């Protein structure tokens, strides 16, 4: 009677969607996992693709491959364009065609994009970093800027090519700034004849009073000092007020820059709009304590798509461990409902700690009871990230690329491939 099994549609194969799928894959249900991409992406290392350390395939795994032995999991490559909670269906677009998927349970784990705070036109000049394409596009811009600087004779033009502005001092912005500064100061240093890549200027712009606001102040200060040691100019309490093809405006000040990267603000995907659900300013669905979407029976939202304060009174942060835990929890909620068992105890986020790296040797780590900085934090960061990579092949290729870069200062993926922008 396979046809009568309950159907669980899970939208998004990020950390949350994968955890929910895994939690339910052993149950007598049919799971349909929908994603716009054919691969799961290990986003915490995406900045290393953008800065030519790693290849996309090192941190991306085909979704079908992850669940190939789970015959009750089918994968759909498509975009959700709407949902009808009354009829219990979602509409998807696949290759320009429309289809409808009926569900008994629906898990929305569609993640978030960047928030340009009402200035969406800036996106063309200051791309964010969410997808493999974003990373390749930033890699192309960065490397092309150095190539053009080598050819140009006008000093102002050349300086603009050698100026990189990163907007947003969270983990992505800090790690990106450190990696770009090191690219210029170490990886490229012997490769040009007319310019000195060490003269490249890297600005990190943060609207708040300090970088890495999720960390203790002491570690924020250590990260800032490490960045400055790599030659990054860190500007806190500074807002970007304009952005065009030639650079950015910071109030009255203009920075002429060929490369601007947006790492500020988070805007949830359209899930709230599909459902007509209540959302916060960032577009995150305000979910019930079990991640259920109020008014939509059988529908859950997790990860960056949702906002929730857990049973310990802590707002669940928009980070990978939280998405994984929520996915696993929702899997348990659905399993209990299917089995007619009582619901699991209220969700409580277990914070595994926070880490960030600055360049090839410095790192910071905060576990609440202890905080670390310097090379030990860097090594810990590396080990943890390799451990969490999705498969054995990725672990090996990432390790080798890191080892090679560590020993040679070179970057293995320094390719300019036209992304068709």
Binds its own copies by CB under 8 A, chosen from 10, 50, 112, 136: 136
Looking at residues 189 to 228 of the shown chain, list those that interact with its own copies (rule: CB under 8 A): 190-194
The per-residue b/e assignment along 389-400, b for 16 or more CB within 10 angstroms, e otherwise, is: bbeeebbebbee
Q: CB–CB of 145/151 below 8 Å?
A: no
Phi/psi zone of residue 64: left (φ > 0), alpha (ψ -120 to 50 degrees), beta? alpha
How far, in Å, CA of 202 to CA of 228, rounded? 10
Q: Tell me which stretch binds its own copies (CB under 8 A): 237-245, 272-280, 286-294, 396-404.
A: 396-404
- DSSP string computed for 290-346: TSBPTTSTTEEE-GGGEE-B-TTSPBPPSSHHHHHHHHHHHHHHHHHHHHTPPPPPP
**95 sits near its own copies (criterion: CB under 8 A):** yes
Q: What is d(CA 85, CA 108) in angstroms, rounded to the nearest whole number?
A: 12
Phi first, then psi, for residue 53 (nearest 5°) are: -75, -45
Choose one: 53-61, 249-257, 315-323, 372-380; the region binding its own copies (CB under 8 A): 53-61
Catalytic, 228? Answer: no
Binding residue (CB under 8 A) for its own copies from 81, 124, 151, 214:
151
Q: Is 299 in the site for its own copies (CB under 8 A)?
A: no
**DSSP-H helix ranges across 193-257:** 217-229
Number of residues assigned to the chain: 421
Q: How near is the Cβ of 192 to its own copies at its closest, in Å?
A: 7
Among 27, 38, 273, 351, the residue binding its own copies under the rule CB under 8 A is 38
Q: To which H or E segment does residue 75 belong?
A: strand 73-77
Interaction between residue 94 and its own copies (CB under 8 A): yes
Q: Which stretch binds its own copies (CB under 8 A): 122-130, 269-277, 352-360, 389-397?
A: 389-397
57 is a contact residue toward its own copies (CB under 8 A): yes
Q: Which residues, other chains included, contact 276 with Cβ-Cβ below 8 Å and sequence gap of 6+?
A: 85, 295
Catalytic residue, chosen from 27, 147, 175, 217, is 175
Instruction: Kindly state whether residue 417 participates in binding its own copies, applying the rule CB under 8 A.
Output: yes
Position 406 contacts its own copies (CB under 8 A): no
Helix (H, G, I), strand (E, B) or coil at 57: helix
* β-sheet bridge partners, residue 385: none
**CB 100 → its own copies: shortest distance, Å?**
12
| Residue 311 contacts its own copies per CB under 8 A | no
Backbone φ/ψ region at 291: left (φ over 0), alpha (ψ -120 to 50), beta: left
Binding of residue 64 to its own copies (CB under 8 A): yes
Provide the minimum distance between the beta carbon of 404 and its own copies in the complex, in angstroms, as a whole number.
Answer: 5
Q: Distance between alpha carbon 224 and the CA centroid of its chain, in Å?
A: 22
Report d(CA 306, CA 285) in Å as an integer. 5
Q: Is 132 in the site for its own copies (CB under 8 A)?
A: yes
- Candidates 6, 65, 321, 352; binder of its own copies (CB under 8 A) is 65
Query: What are the catalytic residues?
Result: 175
Residue ranges in contact with its own copies by CB under 8 A = 37-39, 55-58, 60, 62, 64-65, 68-69, 71, 74-78, 94-95, 97, 99, 132-133, 136, 143-144, 147-148, 150-151, 188, 190-194, 392-393, 396-397, 400-401, 404, 410, 412-421
């Amino acid at each position: 009677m396979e046809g009568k099994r309950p159907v669980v549609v899970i939208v998004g194969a990020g950390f949350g969607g994968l955890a929910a799928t895994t939690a339910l894959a052993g149950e007598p249900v049919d799971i349909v996992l929908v994603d716009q991409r054919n691969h799961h992406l290990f986003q915490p290392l995406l900045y290393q693709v953008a800065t030519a350390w790693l290849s996309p395939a090192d941190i991306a795994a085909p979704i079908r491959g992850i669940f190939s032995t789970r015959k009750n999991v089918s994968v759909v490559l498509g975009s959700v364009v709407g949902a009808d909670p009354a009829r219990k269906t979602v509409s998807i677009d696949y290759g320009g065609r429309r289809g409808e998927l009926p569900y008994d349970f629906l898990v929305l784990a569609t993640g978030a994009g960047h928030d340009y705070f009402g200035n969406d036109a800036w996106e063309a000049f200051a791309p964010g970093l969410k997808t493999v394409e974003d990373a390749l596009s930033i890699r192309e811009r960065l490397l092309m800027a150095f190539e053009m600087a080598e050819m140009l004779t006008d000093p102002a033009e050349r300086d603009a090519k050698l100026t990189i502005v990163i907007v947003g001092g969270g983990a992505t912005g800090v790690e990106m700034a450190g990696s770009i500064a090191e690219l210029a100061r170490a990886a490229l240093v012997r490769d040009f004849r007319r310019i000195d890549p060490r003269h490249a200027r890297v600005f990190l712009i943060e609207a708040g009073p300090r970088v890495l606001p999720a960390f203790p102040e002491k570690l924020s200060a250590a990260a800032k000092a490490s960045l400055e040691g790599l030659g990054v100019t860190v500007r806190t309490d500074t807002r970007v007020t304009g952005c065009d093809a030639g650079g950015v405006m910071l109030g009255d000040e203009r920075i002429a820059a060929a490369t601007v990267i947006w790492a500020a603000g988070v805007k949830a995907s359209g899930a709230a709009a599909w459902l007509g659900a209540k959302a916060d300013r960032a577009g995150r669905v305000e979910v019930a304590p079990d991640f259920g979407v109020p008014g939509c029976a059988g529908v859950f939202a997790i990860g960056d798509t949702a906002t929730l304060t857990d049973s310990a009174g802590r707002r669940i942060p928009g980070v990978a461990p939280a998405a994984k835990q929520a996915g696993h929890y929702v899997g348990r909620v659905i399993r209990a409902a299917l089995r007619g068992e009582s619901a699991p105890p209220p969700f409580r986020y277990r914070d595994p700690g926070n880490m960030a790296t600055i360049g090839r040797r410095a790192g910071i780590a905060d576990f609440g009871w202890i905080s670390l900085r310097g090379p030990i934090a860097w090594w810990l960061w590396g080990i943890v990230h390799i451990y969490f990579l999705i498969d054995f092949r990725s672990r090996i290729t990432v390790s080798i690329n890191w080892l090679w870069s560590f020993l040679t200062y070179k970057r293995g993926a320094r390719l300019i491939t036209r992304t068709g922008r």
